[in-house]
Structure 1
Amino acid sequence: MDDQRKQILVDYISYLYTTGRSYDSIGKYIKYVTDFLENSEEINRRGYYKYKHKNADAMVRHSFMCEAVCDLLSYLKIGYGRREKAVKPLEKLEVISEKNKKLLNDFIIWLTDNNDYSFHTIDVYYTSLKKYFEYANELNMDNCRRFIKSLEEEKLSPATIRLRITAIEKFSKWVKKPIELKRPRMKRKLDVNNVPTEEEYNRLLEYLKTKLNKDYYFFIKVLGTTGARLSEFQQFTWEDIAAGEVVLKGKGNKYRRFFFQKQLQREVKDYIKETGKSGTLAVGRFGPLTQRGLSQHLKVWGKHCGIDSKKMHAHAFRHFFAKMFLKKTKDVIQLADLLGHGSVDTTRIYLQKSYDEQQRDFNKNVTW
């Protein structure tokens, strides 16, 4: 690549980081734009068409490839005459073919035999692919795009559509027909007004201490002092907490170390001696604790404690942990590591202040 093209690449990469795209998308854009700059005969409209003709098969398989190159040309203010085709949604089939049922079953068996995948991930993949085969008999780019259009018309959230796409891409690699699909953009949002305050958190713990079964007291204390996702919390054991730390495989198959505070360790050790508790922590009256089960309990407890029901869900305590940690340390980078975030940008959202905090700061500081 000559110096002029290298400079174009450097400038374009700097521009990408101002667009708000995810790091994953930026990585793909850089990969495909670099290939274009290295292999196209000219950086103009004619060069684009020659490159597109030469790489037609790859561009069909990898939707990001065409999108990235066109984005570069738009950045360089080079017209390329691209017209978006209207994508028609798929209509639902009457039944899933026996061939696809077998394929789906074999894929799930493969995922189950591969220990890198949690039961939750396998369930999401199964649900997503079953949905796809309810609309399409064949796996190809056109069907995938039309399937996504169908999901959009069903008003599914961008987060759900992204899960469906991840499952399709994983399945496509397994059947050796790799497909890359464009994901809908997601605005990262956190309503900081719907996070329990420190006073509400302590009030809830005091209430749960009075219960005959103190397991739930420890459930909330663990969630509030680790920032664990529910899927991670469900893997904790009483022994892990007594030991003070544990390393678990969490979201995205990433390993994450959890620490348990000294006071919590002492309380759990005493509770184990008193009750003989052992094994998995998150167990309720009827077996393993589910998200729905915990949410139902939280709503009831919140009502008893006078806490807004919007703050009473498991993930709210992850947000509570983040807000409290930042309040004490101001260390966003360490918090990102503790929360298992791939990017500090994800963690910065916890720097936002609630309405009450903003009003309090305003009244404290605006005294002129």
Structure 2
Amino acid sequence: MKKMVLSLKVIGDFRKYLYGEERSEATVDKYMRDIMRFYEYLPKDDKAVTKERLVAYKSSFSDRYKVSSINSMLVALNGLLDYMKLDDLKLKLHKVQRSVFYEDDRELTKDEYKRLLDTALKKGDQRLYMLLQTICGTGIRVSEHKYITVEAVNEGKAVVHNKGKVRTIFIPKKLKWLLKDYCRQKNISTGPVFITKNGKPVDRSNIWNAMKKLCKEAKVDDKKVFPHNLRHLFALTYYRSQKDVVRLADLLGHASIETTRIYTMITGKECQKSLSKMDLVIPWAV
């Protein structure tokens, strides 16, 4: 039986394949990091891909990473094996028990969100102030902010292309007027609203770093402050108001309701309150 060897050329071809599948830049970069980790794990003089080596590689993670992180790396590796037509070598993911509630120390509350906005204004960062409101007010992914254009603002909706799918994002009226005013002040007459001095859409890593710089002054735990948590706050607020997970899935651009369920989990404190309200525990008389 001919040995299948993993080479840098194969990895490069797989990268091109992922782009052809319209995977996002962030997804492609992550896949490449995970696959290069496996490539470097293999002996320098023998890059043959075997089941034994794959299983040993999977086992090497057990004490160093969370199960969710391991599964994420295995998904990338299985994608490569599928591309190499080595389906019989694909690895099984670890079974993970679904959490029934969101960890309290990870949830960004509405009050904390407002403190971040106030701090951005105090620092004179109007672009960040408006960008935070746009992500949180529409539920878009941070990478999708480039679709919030002057034209989209005027129309009150944006057409987003992501992961091979197209969806319409509606811009709330209050946000629409704020964005119009922002564009007038910044002399932005066409194209993306959130741009650098060179006229290019702001990079996601710059947004992440700018958000982190607000934490100390806003008195918000920096573990809670990242763009995706704004999307989570949008989803949870919408669900609590409308109780419509199907419509929420459409707004978020999810193909599966199961993915949307993650965004609607309540916190541990809320779970405790709900249990207490059931009033099924009766203390004995003293």
Give the TM bin, normalised by the shorter chain: 0.7 to 0.9
Give the residue type in structure 1 aligned to 2:269: Y
- Deviations 1:45-92, CA, capped at 9 Å, x for gaps: xxxxxxxxxxxxxxxxxxxxxxxxxxxxxxxxxxxxxxxxxxxxxxxx
CA distance 1:296–1:121, shift in 2 (3 Å): closer
Tell me which amino acid in the other structure corresponds to 2:95. R
Tell me, yes or no, if structure 1 residue 120 matches structure 2 residue 23.
no
Equivalent residue for 2:140, pick from 228, 251, 260: 228
Say which SS state the counterpart of residue 151 (structure 1) adopts.
Answer: coil
**Which of the pair has the greater relative contact order for Cα pairs under 8 Å at 6+ separation?**
2
- 2:222 corresponds, among 275, 300, 309, to 309
Separation of aligned partners in 1, 2:154 and 2:104: 32
Query: Following the alignment from structure 1 to structure 2, what is the Cα–Cα distance between the partners of residues 282 and 147?
Result: 43
2:28 matches 1:103: no
1:224-263 correspondence to structure 2 within 5 Å: 224-233=136-145, 236-250=148-162, 253-263=164-174
- Contact 1:225-1:261 at 8 Å conserved across structures: yes
User: Percent of aligned pairs with the same residue?
Assistant: 27
Partner of 2:56: 146
CA contact (8 A) 2:103 2:267 kept: no
Aligned position for 2:78: 169
Gaps of 5+ in 1: 1-96
Which structure 2 residues correspond to residues 52-201 of structure 1 after superposition, within 5 A? Answer: 100-112=7-19, 114=20, 116-136=22-42, 137-153=47-63, 155-179=64-88, 180-189=90-99, 190-201=102-113
Name the CA distance, whole Å, in 2 between partners of 1:241 and 1:117.
Answer: 27
Partner of 1:328: 241
Post-superposition shift, 1:163?
Answer: 3.1
- Between Structure 1 and Structure 2, the one with more helix by share is 1
For 2:128, the equivalent position in structure 1 comes to 216
Question: How far apart, CA to CA, are the structure 2 residues paired with 1:161 and 1:351?
Answer: 23
Residue 134 of structure 1, CA deviation: 1.4
Q: 1:303 to 1:172 in 2, by over 3 A?
A: same
* Residue pair 2:156, 2:171 contacting (<8 A) in 1 also: yes
Quote how far apart the aligned CAs of 1:328 are.
1.6
Deviations 1:220-274 (A, max 9, x none): 10121122333334664454344332333435x4444322212111221222122
Q: Superposition RMSD on alpha carbons, in Å? A: 3.4
Counterpart amino acid of 2:220?
I
Unpaired runs of 5+ residues, structure 2, are none
Structure 1 counterpart of 2:186, from 266, 269, 275 = 275
Deviations 1:127-162 (Å, cap 9, x if unpaired)? 122112212312333332222122334x12333333
Instruction: Go from structure 1 to structure 2 and tell me whether the alpha carbon gap of 1:256 and 1:164 turns closer, same or farther (over 3 Å shift).
Output: farther
Deviation at 1:358, TM superposition (A): 5.3
Contact 2:249 2:255 in 1 (8 A): yes
- Could you tell me how far apart the structure 2 residues matched to 1:165 and 1:356 are? 34
Whole-angstrom distance in 2 between the partners of 1:187 and 1:241: 42
**1: CA distance between counterparts of 2:7 and 2:169?**
41
**8 Å contact from structure 2 (residues 183, 193) kept in 1:** no
Question: Of 325, 339, 359, which residue of structure 1 is paired with 2:252?
Answer: 339
Q: Relative to structure 2, which stretch is displaced further, 197-206 or 313-322?
A: 197-206
Distance 1:165 1:233, change over 3 A: farther
How many residues matched?
266
